[in-house]
Amino acid sequence: MLSLLLYGLLAVVAVGVLFLIAVFLLPAGTRIAPAATDQALPQQLPMSLLSGPDIAAVRLPVALRGYRFAETDRLLDRLSGELALRDAELARLRAELGLDPATDAEPEPPTATPDPSAAIPERPAATPDPLVAAPAPDSLVEVEAAPPVDE
């Protein structure tokens, strides 16, 4: 029992000596710089339509295992929605000017008077999630037809 008490006392003294060595050898008053806080994406991006420099300035916040997936997905969803809006607007403007969207050629002379009662489409609906809405490629889908049943 006495040896157990001596080993405990020796351990406490050893820890105390190591602590005193660390206190005297390490510089006093120096601290580690505080960690930089991540900014949320809504504070970094303007609420108007994004431009190229806006996208280039985005620095996605890093988490323990890489980027924060929720904020990355939110940014990509917003970008895809804005690109869809711009594409629809460009297509509408090209159609009004009579431009061929594939070649951007000069407008052809109108063959008939445009119908003023034709409705101009509003903004397109929100784009669906491409991972959910996209059909599987034909090369990966194997469908076997059931053999005919004779009754």
Domain boundaries, the chain: 61-103
pLDDT value of position 6: 93
For 112, which DSSP code?
S
23 to each of 13, 17, 122, how far by Cα in Å?
A: 15, 10, 71
Matching residue, tokens 């005297």: 24
pLDDT value of position 71: 82
Q: Residue 75 CB: number of other CB atoms within 10 A?
A: 19
- Token couple for 2: 């006495």
pLDDT value of position 82: 86
Matching residue, tokens 């190591």: 18
φ and ψ at residue 63, rounded to 5 degrees: -110, -170
pLDDT value of position 14: 98
- CA dihedral (83, 81, 52, 93) positive or negative: positive
pLDDT lower than 70: segments of the chain: 32, 36-44, 101-151
Distance CA 51, CA 60 (A): 17
Distance CA 141, CA 143 (A): 6
Matching residue, tokens 């053999």: 147
Nearest C-alpha neighbor of 130 from the set 62, 85, 79: 79
Note if the pTM is more than 0.75: no
